[in-house]
Amino acid sequence: MNLFKNSLEGHPKTEKEPKLTDVFPLSHERISQLQKESRPENEHLLIVECRHPDTKYNHQLGQASFKDSDITAKGEQQAEITADNISSILDNQKDIIVIHNTIMARTKNMSEIIRKKLTESGFQILETMEDYDGENNVGRNNVSIHDDFGEPIEQTDFSYSRYFRAMMKKLSEAAEKQNKEPLQAWTQGENVPYLEEIQNVNQRAEKQFKAYLEAEEAYQPETNGKRLVIIQISHIETLNDLWEKTSKGSYTEKKSSGPIKGEMGLFILPTNEKTDSMEISALLPYRDNENYKLGYNKKTASYE
């Protein structure tokens, strides 16, 4: 399973893009800048998108239950660093928090670390609503593994690890022929048996911001006048396209520079926009000082 580990950890050096190898504590100056840029004067919702930290992948390999921890010591450190950075950027007097993770334990592990840090820092954290906990929470879905008949397999199904191993073998073979890393080959459109096509994942992930806006309305009665902050811990499969669209193609697994483990991005969604089109402001704290703009259509739930 070394191939799978290498395909999802770190990034080879490229001549065109800066290499980000790990998350790190942000400076006081950077924190101050992010505090200002992530809190515009207009009414808005703040989304903190995080990729899960370094993991053992024991669940997908069928070597552990979903109740066991699935992150490494390095992963715990990455989660702690990002949790500290999030706590420093937010304001416990002005923000109220909702934390979501996928079914996979590695995202749950990071969620628990962030929850503990924010609770200790005096933040109020709302319980997850059931109607946002299911299909509407697009961030909960990473890539699907399919059986021999093309049907998605639940991650808790006993056959999941068997098909996962078979998929990784097929993916590694396809990537080797192209002299690419497995994840890079898949994000560039390589069709792999048992693995959902990248186009489907990207289309599903585009719907997330519409779901977040709907969630903001549902949570509004509980915010008590504070800004709602949704922290979503997800997987590279659903985050890569967002990083790519945000950075105008600079940060993507197609160039082996997609979101690394433990990385976070800040996305500011206006909540008082009357038209279908809106402009999302985006910050990638570990990458650069840019304030990116991302067009989004609420009606079609797609980027513009």
Q: Is the pLDDT of residue 13 over 90?
A: no
Domain ranges of the chain: 2-141+197-303
Q: Is the pLDDT of residue 231 over 80?
A: yes
Q: What is the pLDDT of residue 74?
A: 94
For the segment(s) 2-141+197-303, the CATH number from 2.102.10.10, 3.40.50.1240, 3.40.50.1980, 3.40.50.970 is 3.40.50.1240
Determine which of 69-73, 146-150, 275-279 has the lowest per-residue pLDDT on average. 69-73
Share of the chain above pLDDT 70, in %: 85
Q: What is the pLDDT of residue 90?
A: 98
Q: Is the pLDDT of residue 19 over 70?
A: yes
The DSSP bridge pattern shows strands 95-101 and 277-283 to be unpaired
Place of tokens 């290499």: 19
For the segment 216-243, the average pLDDT, to the nearest whole number, is 93
For the segment 69-96, the average pLDDT, to the nearest whole number, is 94
Q: Encoding tokens for residue 293? A: 């703009």
Report the Cα 181 to chain-centroid distance in Å.
20
Q: Which amino acid is at 92?
A: N
What φ, ψ does residue 283 adopt, rounded to 5°? Answer: -130, 135
Orientation angle between helical segments 236-246 and 198-206, nearest 10 degrees: 70
Q: Tens digits of per-residue pLDDT, 128-139?
A: 765 554 444 444
How many whole angstroms separate alpha carbon 256 and alpha carbon 14? Answer: 8
Q: Is the pLDDT of residue 99 over 80?
A: yes
Place of tokens 């990116």: 292
Q: How confident is the model at residue 141 (pLDDT cuts 50, 70, 90)?
A: low
Q: How confident is the model at residue 69 (pLDDT cuts 50, 70, 90)?
A: low
3-state helix, strand, coil in the chain (%, to 5): 40, 15, 45
Q: Encoding tokens for residue 16? A: 């065109």
Q: pTM of whole model > 0.95? A: no
Q: Encoding tokens for residue 223? A: 């915010």
